[in-house]
Structure 1
């Protein structure tokens, strides 16, 4: 299989994993609905994230072109991200907040996280995360629409790469679920993902951003990945899909905040 074909297949695997879009299978794919190849395919997670960020940015530009102010355009951009993934990452954040905050034992924390209902901790975490992301994007867009567009693309790519960190450094906390099914990432795939994430972290440079801010945003997202992994290790002894989702949400918010601070 040629390298270009392999990368395209890996990109499709990542897009199917990260979104609810029913991408058709290519002729070269043997098991398009399986996660068996995800440990290698995850190298394209940042590229898949960048595509999702571009769709979100398109919503922001369209809303702005219709005359909506940033405070109304930004929620639409964030809504597109949530809709594309089926709010998978937001659900992970809420579940982790409820489990980590409401459970007294590891078993009870995991039980709470598996519950589809949202408790007080989850509701507060979800509300704060949505507010911070929307307000930060609106603040950036009020200063520069181009900067907001590139920040959405960069944040979507880098934050999803950061979500791979728990999968890489922690064992699965359960013997089922997305965190278990995804498997431990290959080191070579992680290296490619990290390089792509660093590349997409520089997207705001196109809009004239300070290079040090892109470097800081990349470092903050990576730091969030390792910090939340350590918290998950102490709370439940490993990683789950919810842990990866919560990591993504925290990293995305940090990326926006760093560029909002430059405004």
Structure 2
């Protein structure tokens, strides 16, 4: 919620003097700066590993490499472009709360893997979380993630949640099948893809 709030604030202030396109870009840049592109790095590493690795040891080795490969570079560009384009299509007045809701709910999606999958490295950025997450902690995470959704139109919020959950389930299934669990990069990748999926879901119209 804090990261999303920063993005929303930057967007609101930027939109006072800049076109919508540049205000959206400024809000995205602010989250990259605040988080150190932590989750985006996880996304590119995950795509590199799963795209270039044939078995579990190879996938984990590639993901651990600090260099970015062609799979990761292309995937990162597409992800950021998709996020930018999706936010541009959202109503101007809804963008601030959309950013808060998207950042909060996508992190719940990532946190859910701590409860459902096992950590597969002996060391790494997520090692302190390797024992999983308790029910109370998960409930608190869910509460903080679901509250911002109440500020969005009901039908749009539901579809956005469904899209984000489907993206999370797809990734979780792939992580389980290919490496037997998750790594820190998998968590970052889940946050990023579910965030974009959430924004895309908000834009869907069924008649």
Residue 242 of structure 1 and its aligned partner are, at CA, apart by 0.4
Partner residue of 2:136 out of 167, 188, 195 = 188
Residue 189 of structure 1 and its aligned partner are, at CA, apart by 1.5
Partner residue of 1:153 out of 100, 106, 122 = 100
1:212-223 alignment, distance < 5 Å = 212-223=155-166
Residue 188 of structure 1 and its aligned partner are, at CA, apart by 2.1
Residue deviations 1:139-179 (CA, integer Å, cap 9, x gap): 21xxx322011100100110011111222111111011122
* Higher Rg of the two aligned structures: 1
Name the counterpart of 1:170: 117
CA RMSD of aligned residues (A): 1.4
**Kept after mapping to 1: 8 A contact 2:7/2:31:** yes
State the alpha-carbon separation in 2 of the partners of residues 83 and 100 from structure 1. Answer: 27
**Kept after mapping to 2: 8 A contact 1:225/1:251:** yes
The answer to whether residue 66 in structure 2 is matched with residue 120 in structure 1 is: no
**Kept after mapping to 1: 8 A contact 2:41/2:188:** yes
Unaligned 5+ segments in structure 2 are none
Residue deviations 1:83-108 (CA, integer Å, cap 9, x gap): 11100000000001000000111101
**Kept after mapping to 2: 8 A contact 1:70/1:139:** no
Residue 213 of structure 1 and its aligned partner are, at CA, apart by 1.3
1:17-36 alignment, distance < 5 Å = none
**Kept after mapping to 1: 8 A contact 2:117/2:176:** yes
Name the counterpart of 2:84: 134
Name the counterpart of 2:24: 74
State the alpha-carbon separation in 2 of the partners of residues 223 and 191 from structure 1. Answer: 20
Residue 114 of structure 1 and its aligned partner are, at CA, apart by 0.3
State the alpha-carbon separation in 2 of the partners of residues 175 and 226 from structure 1. Answer: 24
What TM-score comes out, normalization by structure 1 length? 0.74
Partner residue of 2:168 out of 186, 209, 225 = 225
The answer to whether residue 38 in structure 2 is matched with residue 88 in structure 1 is: yes
Unaligned 5+ segments in structure 1 are 1-49
Aligned residues: 204
Name the counterpart of 1:202: 150
What TM-score comes out, normalization by structure 2 length? 0.93
Runs of 4+ with deviation above 3 angstroms: none
